[in-house]
Amino acid sequence: MSLRHIWAITIKELRYIQRDRATLTLVVFTPTLLLFMMAYAVTADIKHVPVGALDLDRSQTSRAFLQQMTIGDDLDLVVQVSSMDQLEDYLLKERIHVAIVIAPGFERELYSLHGMPMQVIVDGTEPQTGGYAVDQILRRAEVFITDLLSSQLTALGVDPDLLEPIDMSIRTWYNPNRKANVDVIPGLLSMILGLPGMTVALTLAREREHGTLEQLLVTPIKRAELLLGKMGPYMLSGLANVLLTTVVATAWFKVPFHGNFLLFLLLSAIFFLALLSMNMIVGVFIRTQAGAMALSFLVVFLPGLFLTGIFFPLVSMPSIVRMEALFLPGSHFAIITRGVFITGVGLEVLWPYALALLFFGLMFTGIAALFFRKKLA
C-alpha cells in the first residue's frame, strides 16, 4: 500500500470539498450548528436503572430493605460490594448509575426510632436517570418504614404518619447540580460529529455519476488506497470539528472538560475511522448520490439518534435493541465523550470502547474494500 497514492486521492477530495459549497458547509459548519440547535435532552420513561449497594450493617432488616428497593422494573440491584472503592469503580465504569450505602447500626437505629442511616450516591453524568432513581428510593423507603414499624408505633401510641425517621444523605458525583447540559452535550457530540461522515458515502456515487471512477481504477492506485484516500479529508474535517465543538461546549455551554484532550483526539480519530468506513460500505453498493445519502441517513445516522443512549437510556430498552446499539460506533463514542468530559477518566476505563471502535473500523474498511473489488473488478 502506497502512502503517496492515498495522499494523492486525499488532496483530490480536499479540492473538491473546497470547490463545492454544500459539501464544505456540511463537513465544516454543520456539527457546530447542530450543537446549538440540539443542546437540550428529550425526556423519556426510565426503567431498569442499574443500582449498586454497600451494606455495612449486614442485618436481616438491611437485606429486606435492599430487596424492597428493587421490587419491580424501575430499579435493578446489579451488584453488592464490600467497599467504597469497589462502588466508585462501578460508578466510574458506568456499570451502575446509583449506589445505596447502608451504614452500620442501620437495624438498631431504625427499630429505636432514631433514624434511618443510609446514603444514596448518584452518578451525575446521567442526572435524569439519577433523579428518577432517588425519587423511587425515597418513596419505597417510606413504604418500608411504615410496613416495618407501624405495629410497634401504634403500640407506643405514636401516629406513623407523624414520624419522619429517614436520615438519608444524597450525593451526586461528577455533576453535583444535575444540570442536563452537562450530561446531554458530551453525548450529543457523538451524533453531531458523525453527520459530516455521511458525505463519504456520496464520494463513490459522485465519481460514478461523473464518469471518473473508471479513470481512477485504471491508474496504479489500488482500490484500498482509493477508499482510504477518500476517507482522509473527512477524517481531518472531523478532527477539526472535535476542536471547534469542544470549545463551544466548554466556553458557551459551560460543560466541564476533566480529561486529556490529546487522548480525546486520538479516540475521536478511531471513532471517525469506524464511522467513515461504515458509510463507505453504503457508497460501495449505492450508485447515486441521493440514494447513498438516504441509505446512510437511515442505516447510520437515524439509529444513532435513538440507540446511543443520548436521549433515551439504553437500560430502559429491550435486550435485542441494546445488542443492536453495540454495533453502532456512536454508542461507544457517547460513553467515551461523557467519560472524558465529565469524569475525566482515561484509557484505564475507556479502552474496551476504543478497542471496539478500532475493531469496527478495520472490519468495515475490509468489507468495503472486498465488495468494492468484487463489484468493479
Domains and CATH numbers, the chain: 3-37+180-376 (no CATH), 49-173 (3.40.1710.10)
Q: How far is 202 from 189, CA to CA, in rounded Å?
A: 22
Residue with cell 451488584: 79
Q: How far is 121 from 128, CA to CA, in rounded Å?
A: 14
338 and 187 Cβ atoms separated by less than 8 Å: yes
pLDDT tens-place string over residues 56-99: 999 988 898 898 888 877 888 999 999 999 988 888 888 898 99
What value does the mean pLDDT take over residues 183-207? 77
Q: How far is 247 from 185, CA to CA, in rounded Å?
A: 12
Q: Is the dihedral of CA 201, 202, 205, 206 positive or negative?
A: negative
Q: What is the amino acid identity at position 322?
A: R
Q: How far is 97 from 87, CA to CA, in rounded Å?
A: 11
Query: 36 falls in which pLDDT band (50, 70, 90)?
Result: low
Query: 282 falls in which pLDDT band (50, 70, 90)?
Result: confident
Q: Which residue has the higher pLDDT, 123 or 153?
A: 123
Beta strand 167-173 with 98-102 is unpaired
**Is pLDDT above 80 for 157?**
no
Q: How far is 216 from 219, CA to CA, in rounded Å?
A: 5
Query: 204 falls in which pLDDT band (50, 70, 90)?
Result: confident
How much is the pLDDT for 232? 85
Residue with cell 486520538: 266
Which of 103-117, 152-166, 308-322 has the highest mean predicted lDDT (pLDDT)? 103-117
How much is the pLDDT for 81? 92
55 and 102 Cβ atoms separated by less than 8 Å: yes
Nearby residues of 188 by Cβ (< 8 Å), 6 or more positions away: 34, 35, 38, 39, 310
Which of 4-13, 77-86, 183-192 has the highest mean predicted lDDT (pLDDT)? 77-86
How much is the pLDDT for 41? 41
Cα 172 to Cα 92, 98, 357, distances in angstroms: 13, 9, 30
How much is the pLDDT for 94? 80
Q: What is the mean pLDDT of the chain?
A: 78
Supply the Cα-derived Rg of the chain in whole angstroms.
26
Q: Which residue has the higher pLDDT, 245 or 309?
A: 245
CA nearest to 184, candidates 89, 353, 43:
43
Query: 176 falls in which pLDDT band (50, 70, 90)?
Result: low
Query: 292 falls in which pLDDT band (50, 70, 90)?
Result: confident
What value does the mean pLDDT take over residues 32-61? 72
**Is pLDDT above 60 for 37?**
no
CA nearest to 51, candidates 147, 137, 144:
137
Q: How far is 108 from 102, CA to CA, in rounded Å?
A: 12
Chain CA centroid to CA 20, Å: 33
Cα distance from N-terminal residue to C-terminal residue, the chain: 18
**Is pLDDT above 80 for 262?**
yes
What value does the mean pLDDT take over residues 277-301? 78
The model carries a pTM of 0.64
Q: Which residue has the higher pLDDT, 63 or 376?
A: 63
How much is the pLDDT for 375? 52
Cell triple for 145:
418504614
Cell triple for 43:
425526556
What value does the mean pLDDT take over residues 203-217? 69
How much is the pLDDT for 284? 81
How much is the pLDDT for 374? 47
Q: How far is 177 from 172, CA to CA, in rounded Å?
A: 8
Query: 169 falls in which pLDDT band (50, 70, 90)?
Result: low
CA nearest to 165, candidates 102, 112, 116, 100:
116
Q: Which residue has the higher pLDDT, 163 or 16?
A: 16
Query: 178 falls in which pLDDT band (50, 70, 90)?
Result: low
**Is pLDDT above 90 for 266?**
yes
**Is pLDDT above 90 for 328?**
no
